[in-house]
Amino acid sequence: MDDSQYPDVVWASEFGWVGMPSLETLQPYLPNATTDYTLLSPRVSQKGDTASGLASIYTSLENAYGPYAWGVQDTSTKQSFRRAIHLSQVQQSACMRAEAEHYRRGRDDPKSAPHTMGSTYWMLDSAWPAADWASLEWGGRWKLLHYEMRKVYSPIVVSSYCTPSPQVCRGIEIYIGM
């Protein structure tokens, strides 16, 4: 979520982050709760868009949440799988919010030469019940990302960010944009 990793562009299109759909959406396609309810189980991988997407979810949860993710990534129980799914959606929405807010700030930032005029995240809805970039699950259920993007793309946005970077935060700036 380091602001410096995002480009300064006139239009940002098709940026995204992989997140899991809810257990309610996946459950009909995962018949064996004792073996299927993990991020890297063969059945979840079969449903996934790419194995690398599931591996990136697994790794990002470990990096972002450490002890909160340990034990829920590999334990095949309904409760641990639900928690891993939830953490993946929190991570997806936080990363997407950070990037979308960067582009919103780029419109008014005098240091941003292109003056970003808009952005489109990838993607709106899932084509099947699987881990993907969508904010709407297969069947139309909203993921956390959809709620977050509704706020980010509202007419007035308030965003805060560390300067010069999250790793070396010497100050916090607040942006209010219309």
Average pLDDT for runs of 10 along the chain of length 178: 80 91 94 87 75 78 85 82 93 94 85 82 91 94 97 92 86 90
For residue 121, what pLDDT is reported? 92
Beta strand ranges found along the chain (DSSP E): 11-15, 118-121, 157-164, 169-177
For residue 41, what pLDDT is reported? 86
Strands 169-177 and 11-15 come out as unpaired
CA angle 153, 123, 119 (to 5 degrees): 40
Quick check: 105 and 8 in contact, CB under 8 A?
A: no
What are the beta bridge partners of residue 25?
Answer: none
Q: For the chain, which domains are there?
A: 3-177 (3.20.20.80)
- Nearest residue to 88 via CA among 160, 40, 120, 159: 40
For residue 93, what pLDDT is reported? 96
- Listed in sequence order, the residues at least 6 apart from 53 whose beta carbon sits closer than 8 Å to its beta carbon are 18, 131, 132
For residue 172, what pLDDT is reported? 92
The pTM score is 0.89
